[in-house]
Amino acid sequence: MRQGDLVVRKSYGGDMLFRIATFAGNEAVLRGTDYRLLADSPLADLQTVRNPDELGGTRQARIQSNESLRRLREERNRQTERAGAFPETSDRRQAYFEMPGKVLHLDGDANYLKKSMQVYGQLSVPAEGIHCHESQMPELLIRLLPQVRPDIVVITGHDGVLKQRDNLQHLGNYKNSLNFVHAVNVARDYERNRDSLIIVAGACQSHFEALLQAGSNFASSPGRIMIHALDPVYVAVRSAFTPFRETINMADVIGHTISGMQGVGGIETMGRYRIGVPNLKEPAQNVNIV
């Protein structure tokens, strides 16, 4: 077996697809390909996978992902129709322009970041993405927040409950929840108003309560379950396109994530979407500044 190989764990019935991140003696550190889970396993328990599409769990995760994306597109179209209540101009241009919330997305997984940025691009959400280790996120946010000035921050990557740890309230029993909490603290120190800066934080099995207490608007995972790689993205997109005068419909947005209410929770939060007029098709030319 080599770094980067796709594998499943035999003792778990091959229920989840992983990629080998690194080796530690006779064990391998694994990163989920569809779910944001960080795990380790004895090499003897691993089996390589040649065709991931043969795994039922992988196929189901992709079907669910496509369905969630379809719902986001439909909601996006309905929103455009509502905003289109403005009268159109004589040349059939839209009379308004859109200003969805801007996203700063920090991700501990390069492959997930790439997928996330593709979704932002497909749905016309302005976003900047940074790949870094979860432990680097607090320090990076100190520098990036004043530069990017986002409306929404996504802090995610991989997490998991350590083996043989029964106390789920202790942050030391999680692989990256403490790193996420430190990052949320930095972001909330930068902007105290939870409606001015929306924070979406956590990964698989993350310490939901600690992330909310640190200042997150939305976090995983209330039920300490696996969350899909794109669940934080779906929450961020809905936050970006909910009008700033409206509260984000939590039951609706969380219900449309793949992991549902056991995977993601949150608090009442206002959206970050605005429209403006007029919609200038071409930028102003020959502007003289005296």
Is 286 inside a domain boundary?
Answer: no
Question: Is pLDDT above 90 for 40?
Answer: no
Look at residue 131 in the predicted model and tell me its pLDDT.
97
Last residue of a domain, one of 14, 35, 54: 54
Confidence label for 282 from pLDDT (cuts 50, 70 and 90): low
Q: Please indicate, yes or no, whether residues 38 and 88 belong to a single structural domain of this protein.
A: no
Q: What is the mean pLDDT of residues 6-22?
A: 86
Question: Is pLDDT above 70 for 187?
Answer: yes
Is 282 inside a domain boundary?
Answer: no
State the alpha helices, DSSP H only, in the chain.
Answer: 56-83, 110-122, 137-148, 177-190, 208-214, 231-241, 250-255
Q: Please indicate, yes or no, whether residues 177 and 263 belong to a single structural domain of this protein.
A: yes
Q: Please indicate, yes or no, whether residues 40 and 130 belong to a single structural domain of this protein.
A: no
Question: Is pLDDT above 80 for 84?
Answer: no
Angstrom distance (rounded) from CA 117 to CA 43: 33
Question: Is pLDDT above 70 for 37?
Answer: yes
Is 281 inside a domain boundary?
Answer: no
Question: Is pLDDT above 80 for 193?
Answer: yes
Q: In sequence order, what are the residues at sequence separation of 6 or more whose Cβ sits closer than 8 angstroms to the Cβ of residue 155?
A: 106, 137, 141, 180, 183, 184, 187, 199, 200, 201, 202
Question: Is pLDDT above 90 for 209?
Answer: yes
Look at residue 90 in the predicted model and tell me its pLDDT.
46
Question: Is pLDDT above 80 for 66?
Answer: no
pLDDT digits (tens, 9 = 90+) for 222-260: 999 989 888 999 999 999 999 999 999 888 888 878 889
Is 283 inside a domain boundary?
Answer: no
Range of the domain at 117: 64-276
- The pTM of this model reads 0.84
Closest to 182 measured CA to CA, from 207, 211, 208 = 211
Confidence label for 270 from pLDDT (cuts 50, 70 and 90): very high
Q: Please indicate, yes or no, whether residues 255 and 122 belong to a single structural domain of this protein.
A: yes
CATH number for the domain that contains residue 173: 3.40.50.2300
Look at residue 76 in the predicted model and tell me its pLDDT.
73
Q: Please indicate, yes or no, whether residues 80 and 45 belong to a single structural domain of this protein.
A: no
Q: Please indicate, yes or no, whether residues 191 and 244 belong to a single structural domain of this protein.
A: yes
pLDDT digits (tens, 9 = 90+) for 101-146: 999 999 999 989 999 999 999 999 999 999 999 999 999 999 999 9
Look at residue 290 in the predicted model and tell me its pLDDT.
43
Percent of the chain surpassing pLDDT 70: 85
pLDDT digits (tens, 9 = 90+) for 67-78: 777 877 777 777
Q: Please indicate, yes or no, whether residues 209 and 93 belong to a single structural domain of this protein.
A: yes
Angstrom distance (rounded) from CA 224 to CA 235: 18
Is 287 inside a domain boundary?
Answer: no
Is 288 inside a domain boundary?
Answer: no
Across 12-21, 48-57, 97-106, 182-191, least confident range: 48-57
Question: Is pLDDT above 50 for 212?
Answer: yes
Q: Please indicate, yes or no, whether residues 49 and 133 belong to a single structural domain of this protein.
A: no
CB 221 within 8 A of CB 252: no
Is 17 inside a domain boundary?
Answer: yes
Q: Please indicate, yes or no, whether residues 42 and 71 belong to a single structural domain of this protein.
A: no
Q: Please indicate, yes or no, whether residues 215 and 89 belong to a single structural domain of this protein.
A: yes
Q: Please indicate, yes or no, whether residues 236 and 125 belong to a single structural domain of this protein.
A: yes
Is 136 inside a domain boundary?
Answer: yes
Question: Is pLDDT above 80 for 61?
Answer: no
Q: How many domains are there within the chain? A: 2
Q: Please indicate, yes or no, whether residues 232 and 142 belong to a single structural domain of this protein.
A: yes
Q: What is the mean pLDDT of residues 1-14?
A: 87
Last residue of a domain, one of 19, 34, 54: 54
Question: Is pLDDT above 70 for 53?
Answer: no
